[in-house]
Structure 1
Amino acid sequence: MDVNDIGRRLAADGAMTVLLDGRSGAGKTTFAAALRAAWGVGTVVHLDDVYPGWDGLRAASEHVERELLVPRRAGRPGRWRRWDWTAAASAEWHLVAPDEPLLVEGCGALTVENRALADYGIWLDCAESLRRHRALARDGATFAANWDRWAAQESEHIARNDPRALADVALTAA
């Protein structure tokens, strides 16, 4: 199954909310762009824009549940608040209509609570050496200084939620 197959399946099933999870550098953002094109989704929320700093993986997951997914499931607009990494502060809110297809992408998207509020879950995996190379090539010294700190949060998320088991499909990126 490839990204186009998944996009066609989501469209055929009328999916409204999809969660895409995986460790840093697994290729989630690239996959999300391809899935958006294949599915024709209207809104993509990147958790990189939501995490409240380097220690915020769990807080972002809970924020997405409480502010975005719960209201949408109830037929109301959901919202999410952007984190301004430069100012190290919360920034503006973004609204997402309940009838607008939504893809939430990032490590921590696929929790037990969030999966109950979504139509479809995807886990993307990749070898650690390749993930680290990609992440450091993308984010450089900033991420290098925080790699272990972030990886510990990813491991805690995986131990707590087992997102691979929650996913409808698990893919290994090359």
Structure 2
Amino acid sequence: MLDLALSRPPTLGAGRLVLVDGPSGAGKTTLAAAVAAAAGARAVASRVVHLDAMYDGWEGLPGIGSSLAALLAPLAEGRPGAYRRYDWVAGRYDGTGTVEPVDLLVVEGVGAAAPGVAHLGTVLVWVDAPRDLRRRRGVERDGPAYEAVWERWEASEVETFARDRGRERADLVVDGAASR
């Protein structure tokens, strides 16, 4: 995946953008970390942005495309981008995250394949895993409270995926059920 991104022309100003999408619990965060580590080993400056920091809570998935476009637009011009940072404990936005231009930006999270930013993506990756495994991972990661909102979040994912068609547009499809 890193080789593919580096073989393509820059799409985000002078940098490249890897978008990692797929359902919750599929392994997107793990994959993004591995890509960043591989980039670092090759002296490629990278940064990972987690969409979890940008959603407007459990109901925020429908608006992530606009938030992502607002973050990436200045980066495409070689300027720092910013996003409103969501505090999941407080249940509200609390602060701003700043992203400086970098050689390789990896954006991971449900909705990363938003069509409004497709022209900025160097590589689009779709990560998937069986539903029961994804659900177990989600509850392990987010705690038992996640069970209460899983069905609503999953319904929002299904709507987002049908609208955005990220899997169909992906350059690579990764089996997230493999060992982490």
TM-score (norm: length of structure 1): 0.89
List structure 1 runs of 4+ shifted beyond 6 angstroms.
none
Q: Secondary structure at the match of 1:98?
A: coil
Provide the aligned C-alpha RMSD in A: 1.6
The offset of 1:39, in angstroms, is 2.4
Q: Aligned residue for 1:152? A: 155
Cα distance in 2 for partners of 1:61, 1:112 equals 8
| Alignment partner of 1:42 is 2:42 | no
The 1-side partners of 2:49 and 2:58 are apart by 18
The percent identity for this pair of structures is 42
Which residue number in structure 2 is paired with residue 26 of structure 1? 26
Deviation larger for 135-144 or 101-110: 135-144
Equivalent of 2:128 in 125, 129, 134: 125
Cα pair 1:17 1:119 within 8 Å, conserved: yes
Between the aligned partners of 1:129 and 1:159, the Cα distance in structure 2 is: 21
User: What is the rounded CA distance, in whole Å, between the counterparts of 1:11 and 1:39 in structure 2?
Assistant: 10
Q: Report if aligned partners of 1:81, 1:93 keep a CA contact under 8 Å in 2.
A: yes
TM-score between the two structures when normalised by the length of structure 2: 0.86
Q: Report the residue type matching 2:164 in the other structure.
A: N
Tell me which amino acid in the other structure corresponds to 2:17.
T
Q: Deviations over 1:2-31 (max 9, x none)?
A: xxxx12332343651111001001011111
> Which letter does structure 2 place at the counterpart of 1:109?
A
Contact 1:79/1:93 (8 A) holds in 2: yes
